[in-house]
Each structure stands twice: as C-alpha cells, then as structure tokens.
Structure 1
Amino acid sequence: MRKVLLATGLGLLAVQGFAARADEALDKLAQDPKQWVMQQGDNANTRYSKLKQINSTNVKKLQVAWTFSTGVLRGHEGGPLVVGDTMYVHTPFPNTVYALDLNNEGKILWKYEPRQDPNVIPIMCCDTVNRGVAYADGKIFLHQADTTLVALDAKTGKVAWSVMDGEAGKGQSGTDAPFVFKDKVLVGISGGEFGVKGWVSAYNIKDGKLVWRAFS
C-alpha cells in the first residue's frame, strides 16, 4: 500500500513540476519585449509593448519592409504571435496557420490547412472570424471553426494532437483564441445565437486529454 501511495505521490509531483515549468517558460517569454507570445501580450491583457524603437518622433518615417497576404478576405480579428524569429499568422475560415521567417522577409516556413466541413459557415457569428492562436510548450494551439482544438508543432507545423470540443451540427462553433494557463489550454464554445449551452473546456497541453469542463 505504501508503494502505491508513494508512486501516486511521485506522479502528482511530476505533473505539478511540469505545470510550473510550462507556466514559468511562457511567462519568461512574455516578459521579453522582442517576443509576442500571447494574443494580448501578457496574462493581464494589457496589449502593451516595452519596445521603444518606434516613438512619436520617428513614426512618420516608417516604410513598408515586406508584406504577406493570407488570401482570405473575411474578418481577421486576431493578431499574429512572435516566438523567436518566427511569426505565426492565422486566418478566418478555413483557419489556415502560417509560420513566417522574420529573417527572410516573411518566407513561409510551414502552412497548416485544416479540412473542415463548410456547412459550419452559416452557423458562425459574426462572420467566419477566428480570434487567434496560442503558444506554449513548443506548440501552436488553434481552435477551428468546427470546434476542433489542434496542437501544432511550432517548428514543423505537424499535428501533435487534436480533439473535437463540440458539434457543429448542433449549432456549436469555435471562434475564440485558446488561452494557456500552466499545463492546460482553455477554449470556449460559440453558438449562443442557436440556444447552445455555453462551456469552457480545459485540455492537457501535452496530450490533449480533457481535464475539466464548466458550463455557463
């Protein structure tokens, strides 16, 4: 019995240790002004950058260095993320994700193109928007329109894991930006216009297992 309890205790300590490391690593990146690893810049959602290269004196001298088009003409409501020398850009439906090389005029390093049923489009409100991707533990997290939460390898774009959070056929859709807290990634469901009961789900960032779900 003692061995079982000891093994359980060690397992809990290991999980807690990973959660602390994951949280600390993301917070450290967020404190670096050269990075933009969260949609709002930090957990306080300040959208504030400490960079000082652009100011009220020289802003009028700015010129275009390079441009990139996603090819999607619907509403782009989320901003890009910057992790190291890579910028991660996402689109409204079909929710394509691009990794761009900031040292090479935005050259595409990889592209993720999800296959989704276009029948989800009519139930999306308002427009086919997507409010952003999230980053943690070397992964890019995307909540697709069809409610699929997918974790992509930030270096290669390959799918690490994916999970269906809802059912588009019941009026449920995904438009929000995932939110990472410690070792969990949180997403909410859209569809209040169709009488959908709302919820927030928390998934383990390592393997995508559902940890908990809270209904509104």
Structure 2
Amino acid sequence: MDHRYAALYPSRPAEIELIRDMARGALTAKQKKQLTKELNQPEIDNKDAFIMRPAADWLTPGATCSSPDKLFGDFWYRGELCILFADTNVGKSILAVQIGNALAGGEAIEQLGAELPPEPVLYFDFELSAAQFESRYTSNSNGRYAFNSNFYRVVLNPDAVGAGRFKNYAEYMTNALENIIITSKARTIILDNITCMEAAPRLPRVP
C-alpha cells in the first residue's frame, strides 16, 4: 500500500504525523483537526501567526502536552527529536543501543531512565556491518548479549529496487521509514547515524 497519500491513521503516533507534515507537505484541514485532538491541544486558527492565552492557562492540564514521558532523563522526552553528538569513538552508538534496549524492555537506566511500559523500538544501524555488531555484543566469557525481543535493529537492504519509483533517494528513504514505522507501530526511533541518509549509499553485498 502506498502511504504517501493515505489519510491520517488513528494508530499512527502523533509525532509521526508532524514528520509527515514537514516531509510531504501540509495536512488537510480534517487531518490537522484530528492531529490536534491526538495531541490533546486546543484547536488554533491557522490564519493567526501567534497563540495568545493567559499565562495561567498554560499550566492547565490539556493546555499543552503536559508531563511527557522521560525516555532518557531530562535529555530526551516523548515526542521530541533528540540529537546525540560527540567526537568519534567515544561510545555514542553503544549508548544509543543501551537506551533503545532499555525502553524496549521497560527498564529504567539508573538515574537517567524511567520506568515505562515495554514497547517496540527501532534502531536503524547505518554504521556497523552484521559481523561488527555481533562482535561488539558477544564475548568469550558471557556469550551473546540477550537483547529484549522488542528491540529491533534495522539495516539497509542492498537488494532493494523500489528507489526508482521516487524523485530522489531522500523521498524514497522518507517513504520507507514511514512504512516500517507504521508496520511496527513503534513510537521510539533511533537513527545511527542520520547523515548516512543524505545520499544513496554504496553498500557491499552481504552474504
């Protein structure tokens, strides 16, 4: 099914609709109304450049998305785009995998995590090969690391042929991301790393 022109899906996370809005163009009036309802926000006239309310109203439950879930302490909340950056080889990917696996199992990371219900988490790995990933999470003393079953590692398919149906590689990747998010019903997505999506990669064939 081609989701590029599909109606708003009730089961799709509201934050994904915001991404669709930016990537695909403006939503219809009906879709915006439903998105506003999903976000628990009062309807705003899109003709107005500003939103004005008494300050006290902003503290009223439902005036904003109050008390969002903490995904990683005060660094990452539900519905937010979080960018993790640092020098190379300091452990960004290891931390990202640790966060994703903890959220998948509903396990709190000490001092920074939160006890949330287990949920599917997609970890898009554009950095390591399958052999490198296995080597990183396997040891002679402890064997293979036991990842939570809700934690999914996602990689590019070198044999995929669907890119030709789109104007460019970026549009193809946006559509592919949208489809896998809808299919998995995941609300937490980790891209490692996002710069790898700028242009069509030249990938070696993996046996």
* TM-score interval, normalised by the smaller of the two chains: 0.3 to 0.5
Scaled by the length of structure 1, the TM-score of the pair is 0.31
Identify the structure with the greater helix proportion: 2
Higher RCO (CA 8 Å, separation ≥ 6 residues): 2
Identify the structure with the greater strand proportion: 1
